[in-house]
Amino acid sequence: MERGDGRKADEMRPIQMKVGVLKHADGSAMVKIGKTIAIAAAYGPRELNPRHMQESDRAIVQCNYSMAPFSTKERVRPGPSRRSTEISKVTREALEPALFLKDFPRTTIDVYIVILQANAGTRTAGINAASLALADAGVQMRDLVTSIAAGKVEGHYALDLTGEEEEITECDLPIAYMPREKKFTLLQMDGHITKDDMKGVIRLAVKGCEILYEHQRKALLEKWSKEGFE
């Protein structure tokens, strides 16, 4: 099967990842998948104010996803929306399982994601960038969190849908996945498919995550080898 942009069903759009892109964040990363560009900053663990939000036995994670007003065809109104609030929440829940929160009581780990350009898969690009930013900040992690969506387009399972494919897919199923642990940390689906299709689509997405994992490791190594930690 050939897709609109000439890719194979299990082929991802071109991937570009860079770690340490922001000077003032503790950790940062840029992830570009096709035309989607996500940039993430991580801070912490750091003091949490107001104090009543502190947890006496663990760190909390605060996550914010937002889209730059110029990131889409029609301008996005600045400020939070219902969509961005939900994505912030599922992103936080996708990242939290990778962190050792019990080691940092009373603190916060903050993650900020800005989508500079959107063409489908912004939440997954954001999670990939956020996971790299956390690793770059030196926060201990069980594993990197990778994330990608898959669907079923014109009768075939298809990895990493584009905006055009999102219009015609039978389902849109983003996952976040820790490849070493083989555990899912995000799972969403909208569409209408059979159980077998669901399994097939998830399996394809996992394959995508394994590819992304290699890209993430390479991006981190690239930065750290520059700093002399071979």
Partner 1 sequence: MSFQSRYIASHVSKGMRLDGRKINEYRKIEIEINPIEQAEGSARVKIGDTEVIAGVKLEVGEPFPDTPNEGVLMVNAEFSPLASPEFELGPPRESAIELARIVDRGIRESKCIDNEKLCIKEGEKVWMVLIDVQPLSQDGNLIDAAGIAAITALMAARMPKYEDEKIVYEKTHEKLPLKEIPIPVTCAILDGKLVTDPSLEEEDAMEGRITVTTTQDGRICAIQKGSVGLLTMDIIEQAVEHSAEEGRRIRELVKKSL
Minimum distance between the CB of residue 110 and partner 1, rounded to whole angstroms? Answer: 7
Minimum distance between the CB of residue 89 and partner 1, rounded to whole angstroms? Answer: 14
| From candidates 7, 29, 33, 43, binder to partner 1 by CB under 8 A | 43
- The dihedral built from the CA positions of residue 60, 212, 34 and 187, taken in this order, carries a sign that is negative
Closer residue to partner 1 in complex, CB, 44/151? 44
Closer residue to partner 1 in complex, CB, 41/219? 41
Distance between CA 153 and CA 184 in Å, rounded?
23
Q: Are 222 and 191 in contact (CB under 8 A)?
A: no
- Which tokens in the block code for residue 101? 């929160």
Q: Which stretch binds partner 1 (CB under 8 A): 1-9, 16-24, 136-144, 220-228?
A: 16-24
Minimum distance between the CB of residue 106 and partner 1, rounded to whole angstroms? Answer: 18
Q: Are 160 and 172 in contact (CB under 8 A)?
A: no
Q: Does 25 bind partner 1 (CB under 8 A)?
A: yes
E-strand ranges in 171-229 read 171-178, 183-187, 190-191
Q: Which amino acid is at 42?
A: A
Q: Which amino acid is at 57?
A: D
SS (H, E, C) 48-102: CCCHHHCECCECEEEEEEEECCCCCCCCCCCCCCHHHHHHHHHHHHHHHHHECHH
Q: Does 49 bind partner 1 (CB under 8 A)?
A: no
| From candidates 14, 24, 180, 192, binder to partner 1 by CB under 8 A | 24
| From candidates 66, 91, 131, 146, binder to partner 1 by CB under 8 A | 66
Q: Which stretch binds partner 1 (CB under 8 A): 74-82, 138-146, 180-188, 213-221?
A: 74-82
Q: Does 68 bind partner 1 (CB under 8 A)?
A: yes
Q: Does 108 bind partner 1 (CB under 8 A)?
A: no
Cα dist from 119 to 36, 86, 105, 124, whole Å: 5, 19, 38, 12
| From candidates 48, 118, 130, 173, binder to partner 1 by CB under 8 A | 118
Q: Which residues of 31-67 are buried (b: 16+ CB within 10 A; e: fewer)?
A: bbbbebbbbbbbbbbeebeeeeebeeebbbbbbbbbb
Minimum distance between the CB of residue 191 and partner 1, rounded to whole angstroms? Answer: 25
Q: Does 39 bind partner 1 (CB under 8 A)?
A: yes
What is the contact surface with partner 1 in residues (CB under 8 A)? 21-25, 28, 35, 37, 39-41, 43, 64, 66, 68-75, 78-79, 110, 112, 114, 116-119
